[in-house]
Amino acid sequence: MDINADYIVIKALEDGVTIIGLTRGKDTRFNHTEKLDKGEVLIAQFTEHTSAIKIRGNAEVISEHGNVQAETF
């Protein structure tokens, strides 16, 4: 694992935002799940085991590549 890899920040804009880490490899699987309430922040990093992060709910994602808002209607 590269401990110098970049981090992303996920800030919940409503209660009940779900963050799901997905695995690398032949079959993509759920690796880890977190629930955030409004105002809570999760700092995450891609690793040798986690290749993708799925966000369900209204949240702001902040990274070196810019900011994006995840929204569910």
Supply the pLDDT for residue 23.
80
Specify the residue for token string 């955030």. Answer: 36
Strand order in the sheet with 41-45: 41-45, 7-12, 59-63, 66-70
Q: What percent of the chain is modeled with pLDDT above 90?
A: 47
Strand-strand pairing, 66-70 and 17-23: unpaired
Domains of the chain, start order: 7-70 (2.60.40.50)
pLDDT digits (tens, 9 = 90+) for 13-24: 999 999 998 887
Given a cut of 80, is residue 1 above it in pLDDT?
Answer: no
Specify the residue for token string 């808002």. Answer: 69
The SS3 of residue 43 is strand
Q: Which residues contact 25 (CB under 8 A, 6 or more apart)?
A: none
The pTM for the full model equals 0.81
